[in-house]
Amino acid sequence: MNRPITTLFMLMSVDGKISTGSTDALDVDQDFPHIEGVKEGLHQYYEIEQTTDLWSFNTGRVQQKMGCNEKEMPAKSPVSFVLLDNTHLTEHGVRYFCAKSKTFVLITSNPKHPAFSLHEENLHIIFQKELDLHSTLARLKNEFGCDRLTVQSGGTVNSLFLREKLFDFIDIVVAPVLIGGKDTSTLIDGTSLQSVTELNKISALKLIECATLQDSYLRLRYQVIK
């Protein structure tokens, strides 16, 4: 297989939400620690996250919400980060990930992205006028030695992986909470199917593990059936 083995690893509510609302001011990482009945078991998600692959795929939008454009420079980690971003990362945000990453790969279609003005040793830029995930994943494997990749992006980008049949495993931590809201991002968003002729774009799953965690949390692990 000419790409990394991919795993979608996410925290979601029982109704499949990966955010607490429809604006960037609302976010599970910021809001769950303040909700009684949810905050008590939240640490388990972050503990499991520490065991995921040493290559991580995310988006500039998610990381902007996490504060990378303002935070102090972090310590170096053994993890290599791949970020898809056009407009959300500032120069500080790029430097933040250069400081944090073993290898930092930025995917962008913005020829004026602030990353182009930087000359960090571990910074690599994949410029594409239109996003091509197949090509990107092949380059990650062949040029950077990425054999396994954990995806933790938003619902829209997750849908691109899904429709292109680029997920191999799904690893979901379910928090004991219902959020609601038709405009609140879910595990998989993107364009809805319109016809039975598109049913081949759906991915069936084979259950690997269903683990009951503490404080009413669940962990669900699946293999994707192509």
Strand partners, 17: 186
Return the pLDDT at 1: 85
33: pLDDT strictly greater than 90: yes
Residue 128 pLDDT level (bands cut at 50, 70, 90): very high
Q: In the chain, what is the greatest distance between 2 CA atoms, to the nearest angstrom?
A: 50
As a whole number, the mean pLDDT across the chain is 97
What is the percent of the chain with per-residue pLDDT over 90, rounded to a whole number?
A: 97
What is the extent of the structural domain holding 56?
5-224
pLDDT digits (tens, 9 = 90+) for 66-100: 999 999 999 999 999 999 999 999 999 999 999 99
Mind spelling out the 3-state secondary structure of 85-146? Answer: CCCCCCHHHHHHHHHHCCCEEEEECCCCCHHHHCCCCCEEEEECCCCCHHHHHHHHHHHHCC
Please state which of the ranges 20-24, 95-99, 108-112 shows the lowest mean pLDDT. 20-24
115: pLDDT strictly greater than 90: yes
**What CATH number corresponds to the domain at position 16?**
3.40.430.10
Return the pLDDT at 157: 97
pLDDT digits (tens, 9 = 90+) for 164-204: 999 999 999 999 999 999 999 999 999 999 999 999 999 99
User: What is the domain count for the chain?
Assistant: 1
What backbone torsions phi and psi does residue 25 show, to the nearest 5 degrees? Answer: -75, -15
24: pLDDT strictly greater than 90: no
